[in-house]
Amino acid sequence: MRVLNSLDSELEQQRQLNGQLEERNRLLEVEVYDLKNGLEAVEERARSELGMIAEGETFFMLID
């Protein structure tokens, strides 16, 4: 009986992990689609990861 309860617990943990991974995969699929088909995701990455700005924009650095 103890083994069965342990297996049930492991099964539930695995189901939760699978659900989290499925959600992560769904978000990655959306991001891949955006990167292949749109410029918005590319621009967002360029701004956040590379610090780039678009032509005609002004860069402001706020210092606390």
Better pLDDT: 28 or 59:
28
Per-residue confidence (pLDDT) for residue 15, from 0 to 100: 98
Instruction: Give the mean model confidence (pLDDT) for residues 29-49.
Output: 85
**Which residue ranges make up each domain of the chain?**
2-50
Instruction: Give the mean model confidence (pLDDT) for residues 21-28.
Output: 97
Per-residue confidence (pLDDT) for residue 21, from 0 to 100: 98
Per-residue confidence (pLDDT) for residue 1, from 0 to 100: 83
> CB of 32 within 8 A of CB of 42?
no
Res 60 pLDDT > 80 = yes
Question: Under 8 Å CB-to-CB from 42, ≥6 apart: which residues?
Answer: 35
Res 51 pLDDT > 90 = no
